[in-house]
């Protein structure tokens, strides 16, 4: 009855951020340290109990081992932990979820927060807990929304089913992105359809972050699609140089304060982290709206685009020069980073000793929606004030986007459910995408044995660098797993007789799984040869 886990349908049963620096003295109530707690309806004394005990025991263990705690297990729940200075994050799931997946989920969540808000500690200095609570909630729901158990196991991107789509459409999407990149202020982009990736130029981590607002809006059809964005960061190492160079190449635009007259997108107040009146947020929502559909469509479909930026991170000196109040304030609160350099100097090259983590660079996300299709572009901050560039991007992509949307809409979603003669899951580790023929929706009973085996094998693969192949058999299922540096593939043959004595026997059907998998999966574009 005192079960911790009350949200069985979502992966995450608990998530909290606890700030130990707020609870120093004997008399300080634990609640002072609770920055955010999910589920929010958890009684406060229960929140205090979990935060206080876990953070306390975490600190004790960390001191004994001179290393932060990473995983904490209870009998019924498993917590991924992050400890940084006095901040303590914990994300709890049921013990069934592979540890590696829980840890990945927590890291994604924290990185997502930092992506849109910059330094966590500073965010809490600038914004109210309520404001940030809404954001944590949004990110958490984004990471868990609409995806299957298999997606949680691999922490992968949600993509459209490419086997079901004319390859020319994918090519078209890629071309749209390339066309946008002709504008030097556009760094990279992705095209999303119904909350799934059609094409992306960004790393999987970055794409996943850029999708936050889109998937949120897609899930809640009917609302206007826009919210706040900024600051891509360190998790795109390959592109880092380019970002830096671009930043320093472009001379800082002198004082281009946001146009107070810009129409606000009031619709977006209905969800997500509303660009609050917080000091660090400068709204710049040029409603140039050469809107294709005009006003809100009947189903809330429209093609307008908005964009505005939020937090600014340390290390970014030029912010102050821009005359942007928000930026100026942000700069004041940073400790050692601000140098006397003039704007346009670019971020200090990599050497951010003492910074919270990797240095953050302010950026802006530009979202352009055409009904269920969204073009997301990562752009330089001053893209928004450069109307020529905006026009150029807008016009170069508009027609193609409309066409692409129309085509994608006619593609019927692959009918899941009809259980084939086999189950498979193929995870591309490089692109972080999953191809599978099981829906593995929570509670999908027939697929349980397969999903369970995949979870175990994936954990095993993550633990052991030298393991290449495995066949495991229980009374209910024989599952084959194989992996290389680039992929992990899992296969289960249905039907036929599972009856066997379990004694070694070369006639045993489970040992023919590797060859069956090679054969069967070719038509799914999975080459195991």
Q: Are 378 and 207 in contact (CB under 8 A)?
A: no
CB of 460 to another protein, least distance (A): 7
Per CB under 8 A, residues contacting another protein are 2, 4, 49-50, 53, 56-77, 95, 452-453, 456, 460, 464, 466-476, 478, 499-506, 508, 510-511
Q: Rounded to the nearest 5°, which phi and psi values hold at 197?
A: -75, 130
CB of 92 to another protein, least distance (A): 11
Mapping DSSP to helix (H, G, I), strand (E, B) and coil, where does residue 433 land?
Answer: strand
How far CA 47 is from CA of 43, 129, 183, 338, 359, in Å, comes to 6, 15, 49, 38, 33
How far CA 301 is from CA of 90, 267, 371, in Å, comes to 38, 13, 4
Secondary structure of 266-281 as H, E, C letters: HHHHHCCCCCCCCCCC
Secondary structure of 381-422 as H, E, C letters: HHHHHCHHHHHHHHHHHHHHHHHHHHHHHHCCCCCCCCCCCE
CB of 468 to another protein, least distance (A): 5
CB of 432 to another protein, least distance (A): 23
CB of 46 to another protein, least distance (A): 8
CB of 295 to another protein, least distance (A): 53
Mapping DSSP to helix (H, G, I), strand (E, B) and coil, where does residue 431 land?
Answer: coil
**Minimum CB distance to another protein smaller for 22 or for 452:** 452
Q: Are 34 and 42 in contact (CB under 8 A)?
A: no
CB of 444 to another protein, least distance (A): 18
**Minimum CB distance to another protein smaller for 329 or for 469:** 469
CB of 314 to another protein, least distance (A): 24
CB of 49 to another protein, least distance (A): 6
CB of 481 to another protein, least distance (A): 10
CB of 53 to another protein, least distance (A): 5
Contacts of 444 (CB under 8 A, 6+ apart): 438, 451
Q: Are 187 and 231 in contact (CB under 8 A)?
A: no
**Minimum CB distance to another protein smaller for 193 or for 491:** 491
DSSP structure class, residue 32: G
**Minimum CB distance to another protein smaller for 255 or for 501:** 501
**Minimum CB distance to another protein smaller for 101 or for 131:** 101
Tokens 């942000």 belong to residue: 330
**Minimum CB distance to another protein smaller for 50 or for 160:** 50
Give the neighbor-by-neighbor strand order of the sheet with 422-428.
Answer: 433-436, 422-428, 487-493, 478-483
How far CA 303 is from CA of 195, 367, 405, 456, in Å, comes to 16, 10, 11, 44
**Minimum CB distance to another protein smaller for 288 or for 468:** 468
CB of 69 to another protein, least distance (A): 5
Q: Which of 321, 344, 341 is nearest to 252 (CA)?
A: 344
For the chain, give the number of residues: 529
**Minimum CB distance to another protein smaller for 51 or for 398:** 51
Give the neighbor-by-neighbor strand order of the sheet with 373-379.
Answer: 196-200, 186-193, 373-379, 364-370, 305-306
Cα–Cα distance, 255 to 343 (Å, whole number): 11
Q: Which of 411, 434, 415, 432 is nearest to 424 (CA)?
A: 434
First to last CA, the chain: 51
**Minimum CB distance to another protein smaller for 304 or for 458:** 458
**Minimum CB distance to another protein smaller for 142 or for 483:** 483
Cα–Cα distance, 149 to 30 (Å, whole number): 34
**Minimum CB distance to another protein smaller for 259 or for 469:** 469
**Minimum CB distance to another protein smaller for 357 or for 392:** 357
């Amino acid at each position: 009855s005192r079960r911790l886990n009350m949200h069985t349908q979502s992966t995450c049963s608990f998530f909290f951020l606890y700030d130990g620096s707020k609870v120093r003295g004997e008399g300080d109530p634990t609640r002072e340290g609770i920055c955010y707690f999910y589920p929010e309806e958890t009684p406060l004394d229960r929140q205090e109990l979990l935060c206080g005990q876990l953070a306390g025991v975490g600190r004790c263990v960390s001191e004994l081992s001179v290393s932060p705690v990473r995983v904490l297990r209870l009998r019924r729940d498993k917590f991924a932990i992050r400890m940084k200075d006095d901040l303590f994050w914990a994300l709890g799931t049921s013990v069934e979820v592979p540890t590696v997946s829980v840890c990945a989920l927590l890291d994604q969540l924290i990185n997502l927060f930092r992506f849109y808000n910059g330094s966590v500690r500073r965010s809490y200095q600038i914004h109210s807990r309520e404001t940030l609570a809404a954001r944590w909630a949004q990110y958490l729901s984004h990471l868990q929304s609409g995806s299957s158990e298999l997606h949680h196991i691999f922490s992968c991107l949600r993509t459209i089913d490419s086997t079901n789509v004319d390859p020319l459409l994918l090519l078209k999407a890629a071309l749209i992105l390339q066309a946008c990149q002709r504008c030097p202020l556009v760094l990279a982009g992705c095209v999303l359809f119904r909350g799934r990736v059609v094409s992306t130029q960004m790393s999987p981590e970055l794409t996943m972050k850029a999708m936050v607002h889109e998937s949120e809006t897609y899930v809640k059809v009917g609302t206007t699609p826009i919210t706040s964005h900024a600051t891509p960061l360190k998790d795109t190492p390959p592109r880092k140089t380019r970002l830096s160079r671009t930043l320093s190449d472009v001379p800082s635009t002198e004082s281009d304060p946001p146009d107070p007259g810009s129409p606000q997108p009031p619709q977006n107040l209905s969800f997500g982290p509303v660009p609050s009146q917080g000091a660090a947020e400068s709204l710049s929502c040029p409603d140039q709206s050469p809107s294709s559909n005009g006003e809100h469509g009947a189903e809330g479909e429209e093609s307008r685009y908005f964009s505005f930026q939020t937090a600014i991170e340390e290390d970014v000196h030029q912010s102050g020069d821009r005359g942007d109040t928000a930026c100026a304030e942000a700069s004041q609160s940073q400790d050692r980073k601000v140098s006397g350099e003039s704007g346009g100097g670019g971020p200090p090259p990599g050497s951010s000793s003492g910074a919270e983590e990797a240095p953050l660079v302010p950026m802006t996300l530009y979202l352009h929606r055409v009904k269920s299709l969204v073009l997301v572009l990562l752009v330089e901050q001053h893209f928004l004030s450069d109307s020529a560039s905006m026009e150029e991007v807008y016009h170069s992509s508009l027609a193609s986007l409309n066409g692409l949307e129309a085509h994608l809409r006619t593609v019927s979603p692959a009918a899941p459910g009809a259980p084939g003669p086999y189950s498979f899951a193929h995870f591309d580790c490089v692109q972080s995408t999953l191809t599978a023929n099981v829906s593995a929706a929570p509670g999908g009973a027939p697929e349980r044995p397969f999903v369970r085996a995949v979870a175990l094998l994936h954990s095993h693969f993550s633990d052991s660098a030298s393991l290449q192949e495995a066949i495991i058999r229980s009374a209910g299922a024989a599952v084959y797993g194989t992996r290389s540096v680039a992929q992990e593939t899992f296969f289960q043959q249905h039907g036929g007789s599972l009856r066997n004595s379990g004694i070694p026997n070369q006639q045993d059907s489970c040992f023919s799984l590797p060859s069956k998998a090679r054969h069967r999966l070719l038509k799914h574009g999975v080459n195991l040869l």
